[in-house]
Structure 1
């Protein structure tokens, strides 16, 4: 299954349009997160890509992530509803909807502007070097899953 290419303006603009359909009161169709928490949760992927605010996994944990988790994150199979997530992605406190929405849109714009060649064979926070297709899958699939969770 080939996913839409998040690095293209058309696809990133479509994702941003979906994000712009969200409101602070948009209810989840499943799961426990509020819409603001979901946006913050989606921002973690980009924080791990662009910021240095999450500790990198040690050698053993990175081996476990590459061996057992990488395929689920970068492979084509859709995420299951209510599946487990890494501790860094757990958002339990209240978040500001507008702040998280603006951050996510800015991260998407930056990702699209950098383009797929920037990401080809770039090291990820948790999985080692990824191809541009694996980066695309990781970025797009996660956003699509959670935007679908909120009906957009």
Structure 2
């Protein structure tokens, strides 16, 4: 899996995002390109913004038990996998604003680097290794960029 903490991978992701236009159509799934960008931003909102409630109690236990490994392992997501409710985007979004936010989040993550994420607490999964953070960031973005053919 490519490493989002390296300038080379961050640049590649930024270029792929730069190839998206408001008219870009998905190869699978129901999201429009603006919704996909907003959806990808949720991953970073969970890290950098305090706007999504954290799972508690039994829900937190189940998320860690049943979802964590699927999200942080190095196996790519398959098309049309289910998503968590707070990742579902159903309304139209401002394409340029969501695109700019995503690019900023990718740059910020790369600049903070591996050491910043080593042992960092995630919103839903507890403390993660930097390799798990990398897998989660990269494979989610790569999945959706492939979804839109870039």
Distance 1:27 1:104 in 2: 18
Distance 2:62 2:47 in 1: 19
Could you list the structure 1 runs, at least 4 aligned residues long, displaced by more than 3 angstroms after superposition. Answer: none
2:147 maps to 1:149: yes
2:142 maps to 1:132: no
**Correspondences of 1:39-78 after superposition (within 5 Å):** 39-78=37-76
The alignment covers a number of residue pairs equal to 150
1:42-65 Cα deviation digits (max 9, x unpaired) = 000000000000001112111111
Cα offset for 1:11? 0.4
Give the 3-state SS of the residue equivalent to 1:84 in structure 2. coil
TM-score (norm 1): 0.98
Distance 1:7 1:127 in 2: 20
2:74 maps to 1:79: no
CA-atom RMSD, angstroms? 0.5
Gaps of 5+ in 1: none
Give the 3-state SS of the residue equivalent to 2:121 in structure 1. strand
Question: Please, which of 120, 123, 128 is the counterpart of residue 122 of structure 1?
Answer: 120
Equivalent position of 2:9 in the other structure = 11
Equivalent position of 1:34 in the other structure = 32
Distance 2:75 2:45 in 1: 24
Distance 1:78 1:115 in 2: 22
Equivalent position of 1:109 in the other structure = 107
Gaps of 5+ in 2: none
Name which of structure 1's ranges 30-39 and 76-85 shifts more when overlaid on structure 2: 76-85
